[in-house]
């Protein structure tokens, strides 16, 4: 008896009776060693919004040279609960708070200063900020606690100001990463149970991806510390769980398919491994290389996210390819209980998907028009979309710092809470102040500090415009034009509003630089994988249209359902990156199989066959990925909620509409010409025909 299957020594050793245990032992040993080596790694806690070389960043560096540079003002805003003007007795009670505030202050507290309408007061409390926002949050928490114990009856006191915003963000994330991890694991577990309909099988891929995520967290922290990277660990974790689960679904789906044609579960697993590796590798390489393009980004958080996410996905790839197979081999066929696949078993053969694909291929024009119309309607959501949230809008749940700023803006010049700072040569400081006071919208400008060597002067500017509004951002440009024209001043404009201005410019730069590179990377991977020119061009155009449509629909839903009038600055780029790169995943899974099937059946029937075999796994993978990204909504920042909504929606549409309707319609219309200049060869068939999958004499 001779087995006609072509066997790969590596995959056979990886899944053989003894080799599986050896492989499992080696992988576990390596992972334990890496866990031990990097156990103490901690990523930098910085969260710089503007590019490192921007004017606001230079201003921050210069302001660090001033005495008491770590002293910043916290504003305690007071108002009556009944909305009436503050009485003389109210002002006296606020003065009685001075000893309470001085206990936390680094210098004398000033105030209370009563607004012109008499309905609010503010006490300025200089504090010593911590090295990180988390450290500052501890100071703010203690201050708020004492204020709460001493708040006069009938009044509301709210703590706000520049350092408080960062502290509130840090406080909001206390325990949030653990919550995100717990929700993500729960989502993946439920969906895997529903997918496999087994009380056992789901544990194996979940454990594999969970270990990969834990190791990725430590290695990315070490990389962050070594290279001074800033990134959101929550996004990295979501990517590892989402992509890792997708790879596992593809491998196990193929394993189940092979078990229906052979008794030897190790042989089935070996064949499944080597037939899915090209698609998994191509998928991973696409996303990883796309993420590496973010090293060219000028926004620190975007730059750091590219490297850290790429590391995380490589770890997920290694875990699925080298830890999952020996685990499955050790467990054997029974791990699919109670629906154990056997030779001749026809369950899971994709009859429903075959019916859908056949219908699309028979009426490709109508299907293509319907799918395209849906994407066009979704894209229309871009009309009216703006980019850039102010401080009021960054929190999913309103923070005390944001509500305090609203009260302050209602009764004082809106720019009071976030003044603009200018650093200039002291010899020309008076000229700079005079020039700034002539700029429209400036309430006042005055020197607020001098360096020990008296060479530099810090000038504080209060604006009448609310921070981050169009008028406020335009004013930054006008101020910079004015101070740059003062001879010998060498003045730079900084502060929170200037940082926001530079962050917007930096994010726009990154979008127009990185987006074309992501498309180029995706095109090259498809070109190499499919050895065709026509197919990659068409597939990339469809993927691009799907990504833009998802951003449009997501931004519209943000406005209508959540009253978020704008997308946050990083959302367009990150959403585009994930939608294109992850969308290519499903394109690769489907079209790689379609090319192989086309070698024996022709392009149209090959696509039907490919969908019948991959429709279920791609849909399951898409739902898992969408749900995992949606889990970002548990985090307190609007930025992550918007990203989760857009990517989750895009993945669902990509899975159910693009892969199921649009791509089969295109393949049916173009036919065999889609593989030009080459054509599929019989040797590319990624499965063994059933009549050959038996032993022959």
pLDDT, tens digit, for every residue of 65-79?
999 888 888 999 999
**With contact defined as beta carbons under 8 Å apart, do 688 and 639 qualify?**
no
Mutual angle of helices 496-530 and 534-562, in 10-degree steps: 150
pLDDT at residue 625, rounded to an integer: 87
CA distance 197 to 341: 12
H/E/C letters for each residue in 84-108? CCCCHHHHHHHHCCHHHHHCCCCCC
**With contact defined as beta carbons under 8 Å apart, do 361 and 527 qualify?**
no
Give me the residue spans of the domains in the chain: 1-36+176-349, 68-172, 350-389+508-679, 409-501
pLDDT at residue 498, rounded to an integer: 95
CA distance 560 to 19: 56
pLDDT at residue 478, rounded to an integer: 96
Look at the domain 350-389+508-679 and name its fold: Multidrug efflux transporter AcrB transmembrane fold (1.20.1640)
Look at the domain 1-36+176-349 and name its fold: Multidrug efflux transporter AcrB transmembrane fold (1.20.1640)
Class of domain 409-501: alpha beta
**Which parts of the chain have pLDDT scores under 50?**
1-7, 683-697
Cβ neighbours of residue 665 closer than 8 Å, sequence gap 6 or more: 360, 361, 364, 365, 367, 368, 371
**With contact defined as beta carbons under 8 Å apart, do 354 and 611 qualify?**
yes
| Residue 151 DSSP label | P
C-alpha 639: how far from chain center: 9
Q: What is the pLDDT of residues 458-516, one digit of tens each?
A: 999 999 998 888 999 999 999 999 999 999 999 999 998 999 999 999 999 999 999 99
Residues 514, 520, 522, 524, Cα dihedral to 10°: -150
* Nearest partner of 242 among 285, 201, 212, 198, judged by Cα: 212
* No. of helices (H) and no. of strands (E), the chain: 24, 12
* Nearest partner of 623 among 221, 289, 188, 10, judged by Cα: 188
Q: Do 1-36+176-349 and 350-389+508-679 come out as alike in CATH topology? A: yes
Predicted structure pTM score: 0.84
603: its two tokens: 């392009």
Q: Where are the beta strands (DSSP E) in 364-477?
A: 386-387, 420-425, 442-450, 456-463
Q: Where are the beta strands (DSSP E) in 569-687?
A: none
Helix, strand or coil, per DSSP, at residue 113: strand
CA distance 132 to 41: 17
Output the CATH code of domain 68-172: 3.30.70.1320
**With contact defined as beta carbons under 8 Å apart, do 630 and 183 qualify?**
no
pLDDT at residue 690, rounded to an integer: 39
Radius of gyration of the chain (CA): 30
């Amino acid at each position: 008896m001779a087995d006609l299957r072509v066997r790969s020594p590596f995959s056979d050793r990886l899944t053989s009776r003894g080799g599986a245990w050896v492989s499992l032992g080696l992988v576990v040993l390596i992972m334990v060693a890496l866990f031990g080596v990097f156990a103490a790694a901690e990523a930098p806690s910085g969260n710089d919004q503007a590019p490192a070389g921007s004017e606001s960043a230079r201003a921050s560096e210069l302001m660090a040279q001033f005495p008491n540079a770590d002293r910043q003002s916290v504003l305690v805003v007071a108002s009556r609960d009944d909305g009436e003007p503050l009485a003389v007795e109210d002002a006296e009670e606020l003065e009685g708070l001075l000893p309470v505030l001085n206990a936390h202050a680094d210098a004398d507290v000033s105030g209370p200063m009563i607004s012109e309408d008499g309905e609010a007061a503010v006490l300025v409390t200089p504090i010593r900020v911590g090295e990180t926002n988390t450290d500052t949050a501890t100071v703010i928490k203690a201050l708020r606690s004492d204020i709460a114990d001493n708040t006069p009856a009938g009044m509301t006191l709210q703590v706000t100001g520049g350092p408080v915003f960062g502290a509130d963000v840090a406080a909001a994330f206390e325990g949030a990463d653990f919550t995100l991890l717990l929700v993500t694991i729960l989502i993946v577990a439920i969906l895997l149970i529903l997918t496999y309909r087994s009380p056992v099988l789901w544990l194996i891929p979940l454990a594999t991806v969970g270990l990969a995520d834990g190791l990725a967290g430590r290695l990315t922290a070490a990389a962050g510390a070594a290279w001074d990277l800033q990134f959101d660990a929550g996004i990295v974790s979501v990517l590892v769980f989402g992509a890792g689960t997708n790879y596992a679904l593809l491998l196990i789906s193929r394993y189940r398919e092979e078990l229906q044609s052979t008794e030897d579960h190790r042989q089935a697993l070996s064949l499944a491994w080597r037939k899915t590796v090209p698609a998994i590798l191509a998928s991973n390489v696409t996303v990883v290389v796309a993420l590496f393009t973010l090293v060219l980004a000028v926004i620190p958080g975007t730059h750091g996210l590219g490297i850290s996410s790429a590391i995380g996905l490589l770890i997920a790839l290694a875990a699925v390819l080298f830890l999952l197979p020996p685990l499955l081999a050790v467990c054997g066929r029974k791990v699919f209980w109670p629906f154990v696949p056997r030779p001749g078993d026809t369950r899971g053969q994709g009859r429903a998907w075959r019916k859908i694909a056949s219908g699309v291929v028979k009426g490709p024009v109508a299907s293509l028009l319907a799918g395209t119309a849906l994407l066009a309607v979704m894209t229309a959501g871009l009309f009216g979309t703006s980019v850039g949230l102010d401080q009021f809008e960054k929190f999913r749940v309103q923070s005390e710092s944001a509500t305090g700023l609203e009260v302050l803006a209602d009764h004082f010049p809106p720019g009071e809470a976030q003044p603009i700072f200018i650093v200039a040569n002291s010899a020309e400081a008076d000229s700079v102040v005079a020039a700034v006071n002539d700029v429209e919208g400036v309430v006042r400008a005055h020197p607020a500090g001098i360096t020990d060597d008296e060479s530099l002067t810090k000038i504080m500017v209060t604006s009448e415009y609310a921070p981050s509004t169009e008028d406020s951002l335009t004013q930054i440009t006008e101020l910079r034009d004015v101070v740059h024209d003062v001879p010998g001043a060498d003045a730079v404009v900084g502060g929170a509003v200037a940082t926001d201005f530079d962050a917007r410019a930096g994010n726009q730069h990154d979008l127009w630089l990185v987006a074309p590179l992501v498309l180029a990377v995706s095109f090259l991977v498809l070109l190499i994988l499919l050895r065709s020119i026509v197919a990659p061009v068409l597939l990339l155009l469809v993927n691009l249209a799907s990504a833009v449509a998802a951003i449009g629909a997501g931004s519209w839903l943000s406005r209508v359902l959540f009253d978020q009038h704008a997308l946050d600055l990083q959302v367009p780029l990150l959403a585009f990156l994930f939608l294109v790169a992850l969308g290519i995943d499903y394109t690769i899974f489907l079209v790689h199989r379609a090319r192989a099937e086309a070698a024996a059946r022709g392009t149209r029937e090959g696509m039907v066959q490919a969908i019948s075999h991959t429709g279920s796994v791609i849909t399951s993978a898409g739902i898992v990925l969408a749900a995992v990204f949606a889990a970002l909504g548990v985090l307190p920042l609007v930025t992550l909620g918007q990203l989760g909504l857009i990517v989750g929606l895009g993945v669902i549409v990509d899975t159910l509409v693009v892969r199921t309707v649009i791509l089969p319609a295109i393949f049916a219309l173009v036919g065999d010409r889609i593989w030009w200049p080459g054509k599929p060869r019989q040797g590319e068939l990624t499965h063994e025909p059933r009549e050959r999958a038996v032993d022959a004499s």
